[in-house]
Chain A
Amino acid sequence: MLSSSAPVFSGKHLVSVSDLTADSIQRVIDIAIQLKSSPRPTLLQNKVIASCFFEASTRTRLSFETAVQRLGGSLIGFADAGNTSMGKKGETLSDSIQMISRYADAIIMRHPQEGAARLASEISSVPVINGGDGANQHPTQTLLDLFTIYEARGSLEGVKVAFVGDLKYGRTVHSLAQALALFGAKYYFVAPDALAMPDYIQEELLEAGVQFECVDNLEDVIPLVDILYMTRVQKERFDPTEYMHIASKYVLTAAMLKNAPEHLKVLHPLPRVDEIDVSVDKTPHAFYFQQAENGVYARQALLALTLCPNLDKQLLTSREGGQA
């Protein structure tokens, strides 16, 4: 079945969640599931991947670079452009990408400015994968979130999600809400007024026919949802007393989960500060470390689909082999 559909990722860039469709998301999930159960340590043999972090982001970089290594690819690149001649000599991003795309088979990039990955994709002769461009997009975070929700529930259709904490500045939350809209999801937004889901996202969700509600009390929604997506409320956004008051309302403890449905999973893009009490870690609902692990599989799946045009066919064969 997979081999009959047109390639979606092969040779293409992934810059924005808006580049994804329900089908392409499902394809990444399918491959991620397969790579998680049966590793393919030679799939990217002889491929050179450039890992270009024009801004430091250790977690994202480690996850991507693990994904490349797990598939047998080799890496070139830098962890922080500020410490390289790339940053110091004042070369434009356009020129850097021109050059790097002549060395590597694909470019993973993170950049502090919005739109950097889109620009790079227009210059590069090889696929560009956006690992975060300023406050704009971080599509592989969304893919790993989607994969994790799929794994927790067996499906994305009609999933009920509560988004908790900073819904205003959290691009992770915006992208995930936009992507899950493709699957008829239902949302509860639990956030202080100052950090509410922005109007333009709410308008988009309405246009997409998504049902959502803004809810005051975190405990009220726990019995209603499949996924509790927690985010960090940043101290810098409030004065200290206000922060204490606000943050305490959006902290999850194990005791609050006593009325949770058995299958409810708690996700968090990490790092957490105190919004998830460590008591939650021991409950069967904690799923955020699996989520981080899944980042490696989701990124492997994306890299594999992007760089191996025959992957669909190979996987189909191996599936048939497995069934025989």
Chain B
Amino acid sequence: MSIHKLQVEAIQQGTVIDHIPAGNGLKIINRLQLLNSDVRLTVGLNLPSGEMGCKDLIKVDQWRFTQDEAAELALFAPNATINVINDYKVVDKFRMSQPEELNGLFDCPNHNCITHNEPVDTKFYVRNSGADMKLRCHYCERSFSSALFG
């Protein structure tokens, strides 16, 4: 048994987000709390990880992620792994993959973007730009660093 498993409690039902690049765990926690303020989380930050050196890990109690929910979080943790847990067992396991589009999740950082005044969902196209990820607004056509959305 590896060390980190001793540091966080096992969950009966929910989702374990593993292999989050160290430092990005907090962004995911923020996002999860925005989506559900009552969500119960067990968090490990800067845990030792063979392949990554250091990683963050989050256990989300009672909430089994769908692929779509995971795709949204991929913005903050590309390549993290999702383990869906039922009755203490992993029933589904997949890698987060970078979504091509993000719909209705974030407000546009451009204050003069029409999406702030109209009954319409925001829509961003996701693009890699070196180590950074960029989101381009479908409406105002501006590009923003994904850091702005953290």
Contacts of A116 in B (CB 8 A): 114
Closest residue of chain A to B140 (Cβ to Cβ) is: A114
A122 to B142, CA, bound (A): 18
**CB-defined interface of A111-129 with B at 8 Å, one 1/0 digit per residue?**
1111110110010000000
Q: Using a Cβ–Cβ cut-off of 8 Å, how many residues does chain B contribute to the interface with A? A: 17
Known: A94-B118, A94-B120. A118 touches B138 (CB 8 A): yes
Docked-complex contact A114 and B120, CB < 8 angstroms: no
What is the minimal beta-carbon distance from A201 to any residue of chain B, in angstroms?
A: 11
What is the minimal beta-carbon distance from A141 to any residue of chain B, in angstroms?
A: 16
Which one of B114, B137, B138, B141 lies within 8 Å of A111 (CB-CB)?
B114
Contacts of A134 in B (CB 8 A): 112, 140
Which one of B110, B120, B143 lies within 8 Å of A119 (CB-CB)?
B120
What is the minimal beta-carbon distance from A233 to any residue of chain B, in angstroms?
A: 22
Docked-complex contact B140 and A115, CB < 8 angstroms: yes
Q: Does B2 contact A (CB under 8 A)?
A: no
Q: Does B63 contact A (CB under 8 A)?
A: no
Q: Does A137 contact B (CB under 8 A)?
A: yes
Q: Using a Cβ–Cβ cut-off of 8 Å, how many residues does chain A contribute to the interface with B? A: 20
What is the minimal beta-carbon distance from A203 to any residue of chain B, in angstroms?
A: 8
Contacts of A92 in B (CB 8 A): 117-119
**CB-defined interface of A13-55 with B at 8 Å, one 1/0 digit per residue?**
0001010000000000000000000000000000000000000
Closest residue of chain A to B108 (Cβ to Cβ) is: A115
Majority SS of interface residues in chain B? loop
Docked-complex contact A93 and B139, CB < 8 angstroms: no
Query: What is the count of residue pairs linking A and B with beta-carbon distances less than 8 angstroms?
Result: 56
Q: Does A142 contact B (CB under 8 A)?
A: no
In A182-197, which residues have CB < 8 Å from any B CB? none
Docked-complex contact B114 and A93, CB < 8 angstroms: yes
Contacts of A114 in B (CB 8 A): 110, 112-114, 139-142
What is the minimal beta-carbon distance from B113 to any residue of chain A, in angstroms?
A: 5
Q: Does A136 contact B (CB under 8 A)?
A: yes
A111 to B139, CA, bound (A): 13
Docked-complex contact B141 and A113, CB < 8 angstroms: no
Docked-complex contact A113 and B113, CB < 8 angstroms: yes
Closest residue of chain B to A18 (Cβ to Cβ) is: B141
Known: A93-B114, A134-B112. A115 touches B141 (CB 8 A): yes
Q: Does B115 contact A (CB under 8 A)?
A: yes
The listed residue with most A CB atoms (<10 A of its CB), out of B108, B114, B117, B141, is B114
Docked-complex contact A113 and B143, CB < 8 angstroms: no
Known: A94-B118, A111-B114, A116-B114. 9 other contacts (CB 8 A): A16-B141, A93-B118, A114-B113, A114-B139, A115-B137, A119-B118, A122-B120, A136-B142, A137-B141
Supply 29 A–B pairs (Cβ within 8 Å), ascending by A: A18-B141, A92-B118, A92-B119, A93-B118, A94-B119, A94-B120, A111-B114, A113-B112, A113-B114, A113-B117, A113-B140, A114-B113, A114-B139, A114-B140, A114-B141, A114-B142, A115-B108, A115-B113, A115-B139, A115-B140, A116-B114, A118-B114, A119-B114, A119-B120, A119-B139, A133-B114, A134-B140, A136-B140, A137-B141
